[in-house]
Structure 1
Amino acid sequence: MSEKNERRPLPDPASAELRGLISDAETRAVYDVLYQAREEPLAMPAIRERVSALTGKSNLQMDRRLRSLRTHFDVPARRVPEKRNLFVYPLLGWNPDADKRTTRKNIPGSVRALVHHTYGNRCAACGRTPKDDQVKLVIDHMVPLDLGGTNDPENLQLLCDEDNHDKQALFADHQENADALRKSLSLPEVHLRIGELLKAMAGEDVPKELIVLVAREENNGDPTKRMRELRSLGWIIKNSQRKKGRRVLSFYRLEHWEPWPPGGPQAAVVRLERARRRAKRAQKAPSGTDLRSTAVE
């Protein structure tokens, strides 16, 4: 957070300043509850209960209210230790670039319908559905708005509440790397996105989950394959694992990198793969066979 916004006091819930920022009364009620609970942040059930008491309403669409608040304020989702599905939501202060942001526009119903159709009404991360698994699905920005994402359909996916909260918590855990994430997420090739993130965090163990988010590949892609491809370009990337409860977490640490090849890493990886296939065919071909006449790329 910038020094300016660290010193900038949060608006009082009843102030004209807050009403000027947030026109929706229910969203201001959510802010009020978070503001009053700054010393001891609340989990979602308690937030819902207190906001319902303030507004007299139960159907509050809390995900949308929080997204609206995050246009201006830093409200991360923080996992409660040892409780995988429980998160608290502290109101930490202003967003660093709050004055430069435009208010988050609601995603049109037609776009929401398109996203549900595209993902077959399934969570993009775990595949669960409301009908079969009783999960709630939300529209998620693959690249978060505060990291340069947009409301374009190509940047939207369906996530269940659990996976959406996990993603929010992961980004919150790496808030100090926001600049590296913002730069990486905007790059056009998957190898560039992963590689530049590793370079920015060189010497640190980068969790696989963060690699997957930056890769932005359908069905979570294959980080192990991408690491192999980067190694084929001369990069040295170490893999390690740690046990956390019942889960085994994977991490990648960059120890050496090479400049990006002319034409980009994707083209270089394709050339290397073609050369590998030709060499493999050459080993299998009978002596005297002219591979140039049989090779098909």
Structure 2
Amino acid sequence: MHAEQPHLTQALSTPDRMPDQSEPRPLPAPDSGELRSLVLEAETRAVYQVLYESREAPLEMGEIRKRVQLHTGKANLQTDRRLRSLRTYFDVPAMPVPGKSNRFTYPLLGWKPDADERTPRTAIKASDRAFTLHAYGYRCAACGRSPREDGVKLVIDHKVPLDLGGTNDPDNLQPLCVQDNHAKQALFADHEENAEALRASMNLPEVHLRIGELLKALAGQPVPKELIVLVAREENHGDPTRRLRDLRSLGWKITPSKRKDGRRVRSFYSLEHWEPWPAEGPQAAVARLERARKRAQRLRSD
């Protein structure tokens, strides 16, 4: 792999957990006022209680769901999403179970180092909710359906989830129908083990940077196309494979592959070589190269 430019390396690859010589900050007790002030939903506090009680022997998601149901008396509480919301403040990685494919435990390790700087999970302001619905024409940002014409229910979604560094700012909000909102939650749940790579890439200002830094974070691993689409977060449904071609024009080597998964065939992309980001930025560099290509093509045709 190519060495990165120093200023970009520092900005883009800062680890989520920095070494600290001081005593670790004690975790709040599940019934404490400190936890209640941070975590507003009782069901999410129930997930925290299960994680807190199982710190010595972390559990897999199935067992977490069962124990949460025992605490609340309710099923189908979207435990995966509630666990992700706890990551706004707490370090809860997905740890692979040795010798088991696609199985993970979820240890509650402590506070996030920047927990006090994280966006609180407060209710979205009514004015921001109304502005978002109006800006999208009261339609789902993913499928375009509307309550009036299609009978769907719209919810306000964070494009970049709060636990991955998103904010409550209006430009991070979008309306999604319940079906697409649940599909997005499921997609994040499928990629729990890549949470840190997602967090490092999703908030970058350009789509090429977002995709490129994700590939770099997972360098050598086959990255599924759906994860690239998630990070690209292009509202105009841009083709991520075109963005990969753009990166190749900048000297990157990205190898595609396909894998059968049940009845469907999934596409993957593996990063084998990358180049430093151009000083002008990748989007401007790609546009410059495209202009040069078209000029050369016109000259040949003349």
Structure 1 length normalisation: TM-score?
0.70
Larger RCO, structure (CA 8 Å, separation 6 or more): 2
In the alignment, structure 1 residue 248 sits paired with structure 2 residue 248: no
The 3 A distance-change label for structure 1 pair 8 and 131 is: farther
Say if 1:238 and 1:252, in contact at 8 Å, map to a contact too: yes
Instruction: Report the equivalent of 2:96.
Output: none
User: Radius of gyration: which is bigger?
Assistant: 1
Q: Write out per-residue CA displacement over residues 215-242 of structure 1, whole angstroms, 9 at most, x where no aligned residue.
A: 2221331101111111111111112233
What's the secondary structure of 1:220's corresponding residue? coil
Task: Give, in whole Å, the separation in 2 of the partners of 1:265 and 1:29.
Answer: 43
In the alignment, structure 1 residue 227 sits paired with structure 2 residue 227: no
The 3 A distance-change label for structure 1 pair 158 and 248 is: farther
Q: Write out per-residue CA displacement over residues 39-77 of structure 1, whole angstroms, 9 at most, x where no aligned residue.
A: 64549xx89x9459xxxxxxx9x999888766456899x
Task: Give, in whole Å, the separation in 2 of the partners of 1:178 and 1:143.
Answer: 12
Please report how far the alpha carbon of residue 116 of structure 1 lies from its aligned counterpart in structure 2 after TM superposition.
0.8
Task: Give, in whole Å, the separation in 2 of the partners of 1:208 and 1:135.
Answer: 27
The 3 A distance-change label for structure 1 pair 280 and 208 is: same
Task: Give, in whole Å, the separation in 2 of the partners of 1:243 and 1:15.
Answer: 48
**Structure 1 vs Structure 2 CA RMSD:** 4.1
Please report how far the alpha carbon of residue 272 of structure 1 lies from its aligned counterpart in structure 2 after TM superposition.
1.1
Instruction: Report the equivalent of 2:207.
Output: 190
Aligned partner letter, 1:28: A
What's the secondary structure of 1:270's corresponding residue? helix
1:171 to 188, 209, 220: 188
| 1:142-157 aligned within 5 A | 142-157=159-174
The 3 A distance-change label for structure 1 pair 127 and 246 is: farther
The 3 A distance-change label for structure 1 pair 160 and 10 is: farther
Query: Percent of aligned positions with the same letter in both sequences?
Result: 62
Please report how far the alpha carbon of residue 165 of structure 1 lies from its aligned counterpart in structure 2 after TM superposition.
2.7
What's the secondary structure of 2:295's corresponding residue? helix
Say if 2:253 and 2:272, in contact at 8 Å, map to a contact too: yes
2:286 to 259, 263, 269: 269
Say if 1:235 and 1:257, in contact at 8 Å, map to a contact too: yes
Say if 1:35 and 1:91, in contact at 8 Å, map to a contact too: no
Task: Give, in whole Å, the separation in 2 of the partners of 1:159 and 1:256.
Answer: 37
Say if 2:90 and 2:115, in contact at 8 Å, map to a contact too: no
Task: Give, in whole Å, the separation in 2 of the partners of 1:31 and 1:91.
Answer: 15
The 3 A distance-change label for structure 1 pair 250 and 132 is: farther
Instruction: Report the equivalent of 1:141.
Output: 158
What's the secondary structure of 2:236's corresponding residue? helix
In the alignment, structure 1 residue 160 sits paired with structure 2 residue 177: yes
What's the secondary structure of 1:157's corresponding residue? strand
Q: Which moved more, 1:216-225 or 1:123-132?
A: 123-132
What's the secondary structure of 2:268's corresponding residue? strand
Task: Give, in whole Å, the separation in 2 of the partners of 1:71 and 1:252.
Answer: 29
Aligned partner letter, 1:107: I
| 1:1-297 aligned within 5 A | 11-12=29-30, 14=31, 16=33, 18-22=35-39, 27-28=41-42, 31-32=45-46, 35=49, 40-42=63-65, 50=73, 71-72=88-89, 93=108, 96-97=111-112, 99-100=115-116, 101=118, 103-285=120-302
Task: Give, in whole Å, the separation in 2 of the partners of 1:177 and 1:34.
Answer: 21
What's the secondary structure of 2:256's corresponding residue? strand
- Unpaired segments of 5 or more residues in structure 2? 1-15, 52-58, 94-104
Say if 1:243 and 1:249, in contact at 8 Å, map to a contact too: yes
The 3 A distance-change label for structure 1 pair 72 and 203 is: same
